[in-house]
Amino acid sequence: MKREDALEYHARGRPGKIAVVPTKPLANQRDLALAYSPGVAEPCREIEANPDTAYQYTARGNLVAVVTNGTAVLGLGNIGALAGKPVMEGKGNLFKQFADIDVFDLEVGSERPEDVIRFCQLLEPTVGGINLEDIRAPECFHIEEELRRTMNIPVFHDDQHGTAIISGAALLNALEIVGKDIAKVRVVFSGAGAAAISTAEHYVQLGVKREHILMCDRTGVIYKGRAGDMDRYKARFAVDTPHRTLADAIRGADVFVGLSAAGALSGDMVRAMGPKPIIFALANPNPEILPHEVRAVRDDAIVATGRSDYPNQINNVLCFPFIFRGALDVRATTINEEMKMAATRALAALAKEDVPDSVAQLYGLTSVKFGPDYLIPFPFDPRALLWVAPAVAWAAIATGVARLAVDREEYRESLEHRLGRVRGIMRGIINRAQADPKRVVFPEGEDPRILKAAQIIVDEGIAQPILLGRPPRVREIAAKHGVSLDGIELVDPGTSPNRDRYAAFLFECRQRKGLSLAEAEQRLYKGVYFGSVMVAIGDADAIVGGIGKHYPETVRPALEVIGAHHVTRLASGMYMLVFEKHVVFCGDTTVNIDPTAEQVAQIAISAAGLVANFGQVPRVAMVSFSNFGSVKHPQAQKMAEAVRIVRERRPALIVDGEMQADVAFDQIELAARYPFARLKEPANILIFPNLSAGNIAYKLLTKLGGATAVGPILAGMAHPVHVLEQNADVQDVVNMAAVAVIDAQWRVRTTSGSYVPVGTTAETAVPSPTPANPPTATASAGSR
């Protein structure tokens, strides 16, 4: 991760990572009178008479203050309150994304614990809870203890308890796998800061004997009688022992917990541990020892780290959003030990459940099973909210610290609807791409956006980028923009040794379409032709192009060289529209001007296969201005006929219509007025009757509806071809590269050696006697 990338990310658009968004309309004089004077006086009077009504009339019940004084920020140390603000904003972003909790990040300009304590106490009327963050030890212990004693809202220091709760779940499951008794295991800690001390205390609550814990800090083992570098919190773990160093302490140990620094644990130390050792190397960004270094000396060890690129990631995001969600929803007065324990046991139990394919696919895996490489749930597993928050809420109710009781089933249902299923969909696509990167060629290799994206693609292991352009010019632009070309292949279409071979291939493809060999050689100077031939001939797996160009300039060469798949015989364009709480795929939005019923059916089948490849269950609505025959018109009848064709060829596919767009998302109206409809949940695929409708709809949804558009995604091509918007930014390029990689991954070889998109087979594809539109028609239709 480059410094410039991180700075650009934070400065892009509106500076920072969070904003305050109004939840009520303010469109006219009446709204103004209700929102402020005189109408606002009424809820004020109600709250004065009954303070609990603040949860009904204000945002307090869903608002958490993230408070720091900047004395222990990440691995940066005491950098001050202001410098710590980006971290606190990031924390707020995670609260919102993972648990729909609103946050005020508050940086306190004082290192005195008494000031932080008083500041938080004065916040009690404002917020429903306080998350303490990045406050150094031992002051953080005193601050949290005093606030919990004096306040009647949840106070939680995530640096202490988050790691404790999540690693505690991993410990329980790891011990079960290796068959060891928690009361008998010996645990060694490297590090004695806030996280280490809290984690050790949590392990004691789980059943580890205090006398079986050896804790080491910079000075060495914490033992009884040690004079230097001690405080009352470390003293809890001072034991009678002859050991003085980590190397001494680790001999014969069953568990190592690293909360210290990279390289603290050596291979020799791992070799000296007891049988079937459990190693939690949790220093960030670089752990005390890397998993492959453990494997080099022990094949019986279970390893967890804090990193996402290794199995068993112990990440605090599995804890703090859900702890606060459960505590806020029952208006808990505190977060007690029972609530923390409930979170630990909920995470441990969830890891033993069957992992849905949709979750496994988010991480590019075909199957996930409880075992040495899967001790705890993935951070982007949407089930974590549904397991942890209710467990915390029930524990609060059971221990008498909740002020509100909730119905179990109703509460789980409310959590389901709070976030929907959209969270992390793009991250999931990227994770799957990382599991099996493919070669992706970019025709516009001299564009700075492509260069910057290519570096990110290499850094994140998404694909193997091939940039087309003049290498000296590419290097000049890369140097100007601080882009490293390591891992990026540069190919010059003008001087490539493959020009003759590619020209012969292009000539063979187009010789009966009026193209001469000389013209084929000339066209290869254009990157999009050269790249398309690379993909068609097998020298690349996918092409992503079109930045700064009109849509037809990219699609026409791809259709000429690669063409539609021989089974589908129809290319179509899709957009994935990502809203706050749901995702909708729209087609055809870019290619076919006025498709026939059979072509509409094929567009729907291709779209369903694409959506299934993205880990979603396809639910297709054929949209029109008519609902199930309410209007007799050829356009409406075409969509109804398309439904019939799809059902004939794909009986298991959830598809219905024709229907109006609003009905496609209204489960209640569908059930009440059209009980025969097969759609029982809102559609996630909208198929339009013509290009005008599809193109207009997706643009309105992005410009007025606030959707983020990913696309256009070409479906039905013989090989992966994906087109960028003219004004695409760097992240758009990265996203589309990930989509292209997944497209390439999920194509299977037929006996003829050609690719078939997943979800389309010879039996289910809809025959099309001729392409829907020749390239010239596509060119006029597909402008963006």
Q: Which of 492, 429, 437 is nearest to 459 (CA)?
A: 437
The pLDDT, as a whole number, for residue 767 is: 37
Stretch among 96-100, 169-173, 400-404 having the lowest mean pLDDT? 96-100
Per the CB < 8 A criterion, the answer to whether 269 and 295 are in contact is no
Give mean pLDDT, residues 389-418: 90
Give mean pLDDT, residues 531-560: 91
Residue of 9, 36, 57, 525 with catalytic role: 36
Strand pairing report for 489-491 and 583-587:
unpaired
Contacts of 620 (CB under 8 A, 6+ apart): 604, 607, 608, 646, 653, 654, 655, 656, 657, 683, 685, 687
Rg (CA), the chain: 29
Stretch among 277-281, 355-359, 637-641, 682-686 having the lowest mean pLDDT? 355-359
Give mean pLDDT, residues 607-614: 85
**Which tops the pLDDT comparison, 384 or 551?**
384
Handedness of CA 629, 630, 631, 636 (dihedral sign): negative
Stretch among 25-34, 308-317, 417-426, 671-680 having the lowest mean pLDDT? 417-426
Query: Coil, helix or strand for 583?
Result: strand
Residue of 2, 55, 91, 184 with catalytic role: 91
Per the CB < 8 A criterion, the answer to whether 462 and 439 are in contact is no
Q: What is the crossing angle of helices 85-99 and 320-329, to 10°?
A: 60
Q: Which of 376, 245, 368 is nearest to 302 (CA)?
A: 376
Per the CB < 8 A criterion, the answer to whether 570 and 759 are in contact is no
**Which tops the pLDDT comparison, 361 or 686?**
686
Is 78 exposed, middle or buried (CB count within 10 Å of its CB: 0-12, 13-18, 19+)?
middle
At 140, give phi and psi (nearest 5°).
-60, -35
Q: E strands along 625-733, which residues?
A: 654-659, 685-687, 708-715, 721-723
The pLDDT, as a whole number, for residue 280 is: 97
The pLDDT, as a whole number, for residue 102 is: 95
CA distances to 103, 179, 209, 212 from 184, rounded to whole Å, are 42, 11, 7, 8
36 is catalytic: yes
pLDDT band of 621, cuts 50, 70, 90? very high
Q: Which of 732, 718, 696, 780 is nearest to 546 (CA)?
A: 732
Q: Is the pLDDT of residue 758 over 60?
A: no
Using CA atoms of 674, 677, 679, 681 in order, give the dihedral in degrees to the nearest 10. 30
The pLDDT, as a whole number, for residue 757 is: 43
Q: Is the pLDDT of residue 781 over 60?
A: no
Per the CB < 8 A criterion, the answer to whether 529 and 523 are in contact is yes
| Strand (E) or helix (H) holding 522 | helix 517-523
pLDDT band of 420, cuts 50, 70, 90? low
Mean pLDDT (the chain) is: 89
Eight-class DSSP state of 592: -
With vertex at residue 415, the alpha carbon angle to CA 410 and CA 421, rounded to the nearest 5 degrees, is 130
Residue with tokens 């693609």: 457
Q: Is the pLDDT of residue 782 over 60?
A: no
Q: Which of 449, 483, 451, 481 is nearest to 466 (CA)?
A: 451
Strand pairing report for 755-757 and 213-217:
unpaired
Give mean pLDDT, residues 381-399: 94
Q: Is the pLDDT of residue 764 over 70?
A: no
Stretch among 55-69, 105-119, 147-161, 364-378 having the lowest mean pLDDT? 364-378
Predicted model pTM: 0.70
Give mean pLDDT, residues 187-213: 95
| Strand (E) or helix (H) holding 442 | strand 438-442
How far apart are the C-alpha atoms of 587 and 611, rounded to whole Å?
A: 12
The pLDDT, as a whole number, for residue 375 is: 95
369 is catalytic: no
Q: Is the pLDDT of residue 770 over 50?
A: no
Contacts of 174 (CB under 8 A, 6+ apart): 278, 302, 304, 372, 375
Contacts of 114 (CB under 8 A, 6+ apart): none
Give mean pLDDT, residues 644-663: 93
Per the CB < 8 A criterion, the answer to whether 578 and 425 are in contact is yes
Per the CB < 8 A criterion, the answer to whether 450 and 481 are in contact is no
Question: To the nearest whole percent, how much of the chain has pLDDT over 90?
Answer: 67
Per the CB < 8 A criterion, the answer to whether 496 and 488 are in contact is no
Q: Which of 527, 523, 379 is nearest to 466 (CA)?
A: 527
Query: Coil, helix or strand for 121?
Result: helix
Of the chain, the end-to-end C-alpha distance in Å amounts to 33
How far apart are the C-alpha atoms of 724 and 719, rounded to whole Å?
A: 16
DSSP codes joined into one string, 222-243: -BTT--SS--HHHHTT-B--S-
| Strand (E) or helix (H) holding 737 | helix 730-745
3-state secondary structure 246-313: HHHHHCCCCEEEECCCCCCCCHHHHHHCCCCCEEEECCCCCCCCCHHHHHCCCCCCEEEECCCCCCCE
Tokens of 528: 């999009």
Q: Which of 522, 523, 545 is nearest to 535 (CA)?
A: 545
How far apart are the C-alpha atoms of 375 and 290, rounded to whole Å?
A: 17
Per the CB < 8 A criterion, the answer to whether 258 and 265 are in contact is yes
The pLDDT, as a whole number, for residue 610 is: 84
At 422, give phi and psi (nearest 5°).
-80, -25
Query: Coil, helix or strand for 654?
Result: strand
Give mean pLDDT, residues 732-740: 91
